[in-house]
Structure 1
């Protein structure tokens, strides 16, 4: 028999698992949902003393209560913060655990407190610095009001009655549970794992595969054959929004099913290193610092197209984005059409880096405009994927020399699992200042739902203010289609977008 120990995230307890646990039991499994110490709604000094170690002991007690019956397999399920005590317990009872399930959670590391996974950056800084009421007095963190759960994760799919109950039964989170570092010996690394991602909260198997392909060291373990993945089309609390589907996924995970990631260096290169979908000419390239210029065979100052990569991209990723085939392909294509194509590396290595990345882009643009081979009054900016948020700076008050702004499969608003985010980087709010600036958006039909929503938000805002937005549709294409979907439709979408951008530069 499989026994599931279900450990919920911040502010919550066993009550969130009721429907999922009942379905697991109906399928013949055992299900034990925990309410961790201090989250029963109690108050006082005893709660203030609760820390991560207390919660690890809670999970250990549950494991030990199950005994050591022959054929019994224990699956630990950690949602959100719950993965921290789950890993701490698995590290001490690795021989007893058949599988660990990361349910829409991060990947805690030895020596790192759960605070690092809190999505609200300002709250992280307050608590880490010992400032404010919570840091000074160790008072528990109050649970969210009904309309504030979104700050902790997408509530997509949760019925109103379930959200009301979630709010009514929520309890303050003991502060020390977030501040005490998780300590691991490495024993838990021997236990098979499954990640259950919630796409409406901004996570997907495709995104994880992409980051593994970048070569990010901390994520290479995810390509181990003992690691599997599932994806649910819902928000951060699937036990409330899709309890039946979650129960099915947990049962399949316990059986060893799930998607396996492709490790870097496999027979097929990762998506971002596959060939560009068009045959483009070889042209001279000049490198200055973090900026590359692809030069056309033409006299006189030429218009320029600056291609801004997405991200976040790990700082250690090699090759760096300016050498990725898609970016170099676009730059060579532009040069072949008589414009200077520009690629660059910017510092978007983490979600907190958008300000730094925007400064890098602005500096690169000034370097390009100062080059005597470039017509400084005819420049276009072309953003990709997560780089799309940087476009807000240029939409808000476009300079006269910016003749066109393009965005291909862009992310145009922060995703739900990013938490509170700098309002500066919201293109939908900035587009009202774009005036007559031509904007070309390449929209893919097979986009991840959570990204597609941000594009539609931007297009709705652009229509409301009368912005000059042209949409190039590729109905059967995916995110990063230039290397994933080398079809006639995809090629025509790239050609059409380039014709439009160059037309605005030369017209």
Structure 2
């Protein structure tokens, strides 16, 4: 038998686990939802000073109450109890990890249920998906001025999407979620989490809800970019599952969630394969075209690849994706896809420009967009560039920045290109209310030509945004030319060196350059 200790997320109490508990117990497991102080019972039930340590103590109390039979409740201490799978949903992973470090000998596995990966010394506020709200609460906490007795109001029925996708939730479930929601004590979000070394080596499982924007493929891609915090994910003790639902699987598919938890407890799940010692990650493999060497001229955050031609030339400005860790080496401007595209533009008579920007976190889109806008003006001011013939080409997560240029295209912008772009914020990014929403912005693009390279093996959560963008473009009559790569992956220029991929790169470049003709 296995005992599952289930820690709820923000605004929610033990009620969210009721159906999951029923499925787990029917399978012979023990299941123990944790009543977090202030989140169970009547509104306003949090005592003054309720913080993360309070909730860690709540989790410890349940762990200590689990008896030696992995399902029988007893009064024995931790030395008498059974082994436990500790499940943290959303915010709940923070008190779960805090408790795990103090009862390491009792914990068999930690399950991250559609949650972030907390870091030592970082408060749960960092995982709040709404960037504007994060900033307001962080300012309130600055200088020790946080009010530990304050509360964050629970969402109204139409506000849950700010906190995660409600995909799969029946109306009745959403009604009940709203009716039983409780304000979140601010101290639980503002107090830093302190992790012990005992947590580091514990077996873990990530349960990713694809309807909320998470997937194994995305984790694999991010882990390959060199973020030190993600390198541990290729450990064989780390497994993954996907659930095709929104952020509250315990309400939308409790039977499937229970099955995944049981399989996780048995050590099942997908494991990420580490790259071989001589094998570079996918984004650092060679560009798929064999091109003459064009040396970049680097000034600030701009690299210029200049053609062998006289007079001002049109420019194609390439904007990388992200978020990419600030300490990633090499940085995106030196990735083969970017240098390859820029060199290919130069070989074809245009100035290829690569812009480095500071998109290191989802909260960085404002400054990344400002970096790009400033760089574009410096590129246009270069005497070797024809300032009235410029194309902007965005890749991957940089696609959200296209919204600024679609919304009000300047007359010198002859074409906008996007390759496997993110064109709608993913649900768990908390950006749906920001200006970075190309699906909405394309309605104002007017006659601006758009060249969109679409890969057939795209991550579903990104592909959905691309199709939404294309539907909006058709509705408003925007000029969009699609270059399809049916068998291509995200990052196909270095992952899929096939004739189909090479043809797609050539067609996309040809289309962009055609719009730059005098």
Per the normalisation by structure 2, the TM-score is 0.92
State the match for 1:62 in structure 2: 62
1:337-486 to structure 2, matched below 5 A, reads: 337-420=348-431, 423-486=434-497
- Which ranges in structure 1 are unaligned for 5 or more consecutive residues? none
How far off is 1:43 after superposition?
Answer: 4.5
1:90 aligns with 2:110: no
State the match for 2:3 in structure 1: 3
Asked whether the equivalents of residues 12 and 180 of structure 2 are also in contact (C-alpha less than 8 Å), the reply is yes
State the match for 2:334 in structure 1: 323
Distance 2:467 2:94 in 1: 36
Distance 1:271 1:239 in 2: 35
Distance 2:179 2:44 in 1: 20
State the match for 1:126 in structure 2: 136
- Cα 1:283/1:136, change in 2 over 3 Å: closer
Aligned residues: 505
- Cα 1:435/1:284, change in 2 over 3 Å: same
Q: Which residue among 285, 291, 296 is the counterpart of 2:296?
A: 285
1:502 aligns with 2:487: no
Indicate the RMSD between aligned Cα atoms, in angstroms. 2.2
Distance 1:444 1:46 in 2: 50
Distance 1:284 1:200 in 2: 43
State the match for 1:227 in structure 2: 238
State the match for 2:166 in structure 1: 155
How far off is 1:126 after superposition?
Answer: 3.1
Asked whether the equivalents of residues 48 and 176 of structure 1 are also in contact (C-alpha less than 8 Å), the reply is no
Distance 2:463 2:60 in 1: 42
Q: Deviations over 1:41-82 (max 9, x none)?
A: 334575334322222122112111223459943100000011
Q: Which residue among 104, 116, 122 is the counterpart of 1:106?
A: 116
How far off is 1:496 after superposition?
Answer: 1.4
Distance 1:297 1:125 in 2: 48
What SS class does the counterpart of residue 5 from structure 1 fall into?
A: strand
Q: Which residue among 196, 200, 207 is the counterpart of 2:211?
A: 200
State the match for 2:127 in structure 1: 117
Distance 2:63 2:162 in 1: 32
Asked whether the equivalents of residues 422 and 462 of structure 2 are also in contact (C-alpha less than 8 Å), the reply is yes
The farther-off stretch of 37-46 and 324-333 is 37-46
How far off is 1:488 after superposition?
Answer: 2.6
How far off is 1:318 after superposition?
Answer: 0.6
- Cα 1:167/1:439, change in 2 over 3 Å: same
Q: Which residue among 306, 309, 313 is the counterpart of 1:302?
A: 313
What SS class does the counterpart of residue 298 from structure 2 fall into?
A: strand
- Cα 1:27/1:2, change in 2 over 3 Å: same
1:255-270 to structure 2, matched below 5 A, reads: 255-263=266-274, 266-270=277-281
Q: Deviations over 1:73-116 (max 9, x none)?
A: 31000000111111111110001100000111112222222222
Distance 1:370 1:265 in 2: 45
Q: Deviations over 1:186-238 (max 9, x none)?
A: 22223111111112211222222222222112222222222222222221111
Asked whether the equivalents of residues 48 and 140 of structure 1 are also in contact (C-alpha less than 8 Å), the reply is no
How far off is 1:499 after superposition?
Answer: 1.2
State the match for 1:146 in structure 2: 157
State the match for 2:41 in structure 1: 41
Q: Which residue among 477, 488, 498 is the counterpart of 2:499?
A: 488
- Which ranges in structure 2 are unaligned for 5 or more consecutive residues? 71-80
- Cα 1:478/1:25, change in 2 over 3 Å: same
How far off is 1:263 after superposition?
Answer: 4.0
Q: Deviations over 1:422-461 (max 9, x none)?
A: 6322222322332221111112222222212222222222
What SS class does the counterpart of residue 383 from structure 1 fall into?
A: strand
Distance 1:31 1:198 in 2: 21
Q: Which residue among 213, 219, 225 is the counterpart of 2:224?
A: 213
Distance 2:135 2:417 in 1: 35
Asked whether the equivalents of residues 212 and 263 of structure 1 are also in contact (C-alpha less than 8 Å), the reply is no
How far off is 1:383 after superposition?
Answer: 0.4
State the match for 2:78 in structure 1: none
Distance 1:295 1:415 in 2: 36
- Cα 1:149/1:403, change in 2 over 3 Å: same
The farther-off stretch of 261-270 and 21-30 is 261-270
Distance 2:230 2:352 in 1: 33
How far off is 1:137 after superposition?
Answer: 7.8
Distance 1:414 1:59 in 2: 34
How far off is 1:8 after superposition?
Answer: 1.0
